[in-house]
Amino acid sequence: MKSPDFIARAKEIENVVVDWRRHFHSHPELSFDEVETSKFIAKTLTELGCENVQIGTFGRPTGVIADIKGGKPGKCVALRADIDALPVTEETGLPFASQNAGVMHACGHDGHAAMLLGAAKMLCEVKDRLPGSVRLIFQPSEESAVVKQGARAVVEDGKALAGVDAIFGVHLWSPLEAGVLGYTTGAMMACSDSWTLKIHGKGGHGAAPHQTHDPTVAAGQIICALQTFVSREIEPIKNAVLSVGIMKAGGAFNVIPEEVELTGTARSFEPQISLDCEDFIRRVGENIGAAFRCTTDLEYSRNLPPTVNHAEMALLGAENGRKVFGADNVRELKPTMVGEDFSFYLEKVPGAFFFIGVGDEAKHTTWPHHHCRFTIDEAQLHKGSAFEALCAWEFLNKA
Ligand code: NI
């Protein structure tokens, strides 16, 4: 069936979507603390005519799922937005800046929630003609994915993906120029692993190193050796990152410490590389440590799997993106090493994740994500709503 004119309708409701975004922006809440945000979303979805509106089905009172049930039988497609903010003190000077001290929507999730409400509004308006249903997932705690794991909690809870045949998600993206839709047909964002290697030595006086087993020297050699993971262990055409972010050692200039602790991250697009990386860090730690009479132990956590788009879904999105953003404004991107917990959904159902560019020098919207002056080009919001509505409509009509 010919799709409704979501593009024109989205332009008509642009002010509503922008107002929603500004409301969320003024009232940011941290990961798994999105209580008022969830209430606002649930109330709005109910008013729009959604069914099965449920808050906090994930063991906490945050996050919302809801259904738009079409007038005809068919499949179920999910659209997901994340809704949490960051522990950042806002310095944008915007009239609708954060009213919650020390908390800021510095990643665009305010826009994600608003765009999905916009898509929901338009899909509700045509639901009689819709073959199948749309599951709306307003996911808590994306930002705190390492510790609190929003998407993992949603997926494990089971309700959000029950009966879902495909899923789409978007992220407003300041490194990409405003008005451009970016996608990949495979790996889009990396896995995010974290690790801590403890190097145990024997401390002592800084002037008597021969009486110690100095863990700082072992740590230095280990850090250098870790650099060879990418250059010597990975197939050259593949990608990985292994970085040390924290070194903890000692407390006095004249004392050789007992222990050094190294903490870092590892990123890649393949589960095997992540396994190999853990093995490599352990091997290098143990063996270089032993050479310096130190022992080591490693804790390694796989926090986020890689976000890998399903080609068919990515291409469906790109095709619809060309209608919304223009044929010249849809681009296949290189993957990024940043992680995103949309990956948990893609492990369960086919789907794709897209970047909507919001970077515009003239509008001061090119600040990096998580920066205290980060903001978005609001002119892209209604396009995001149209894009999401169209992806859902077209998937259901092709299914
Ligand atoms: Ni984000």
Q: What is the pLDDT of residue 149?
A: 76
Please tell me if the domain spanning 6-189+306-398 has the same topology as the one spanning 192-304: no
Q: Rounded to an integer, what distance in angstroms lies between the CA atom of residue 66 and that of residue 51?
A: 6
Instruction: Say how many Å lie between the CA of residue 337 and the centre of ligand 1.
Output: 14
Asked whether residue 224 carries a pLDDT value surpassing 80, the answer given is yes
Q: How far is ligand 1, taken at its centre, from the CA of residue 141, in Å?
A: 10
Per-residue pLDDT at 155: 92
Q: What is the mean pLDDT of residues 372-383?
A: 98
Question: What was the pLDDT predicted at 146?
Answer: 64
From ligand 1's centre to the CA of 339, what distance in Å?
9
Q: How far is the CA of 215 from the centre of ligand 1 (A)?
A: 38
Check if CATH label 3.30.70.360 holds for domain 192-304: yes
* Helix boundaries (H) for the chain: 6-12, 14-26, 35-48, 109-125, 150-157, 215-226, 228, 271-291, 311-325, 343-346, 381-398
Percentage above 90 pLDDT, the chain: 94
d(CA 190, CA 338) in angstroms, rounded, equals: 6
Query: 1.10.150.110, 3.40.630.10, 3.90.110.10, 3.30.1360.120: which CATH number matches 6-189+306-398?
Result: 3.40.630.10
* Band of pLDDT at residue 59, cut at 50, 70 and 90: confident
For the chain, which residues make up each domain, given as ranges? 6-189+306-398, 192-304
pTM over 0.85: yes
Q: How far, in Å, is the centroid of ligand 1 from the Cα of 25? A: 14
All residues at 6 or more sequence positions from 180 whose CB lies less than 8 Å from its CB, including other chains: 325, 329, 330, 331, 356, 357
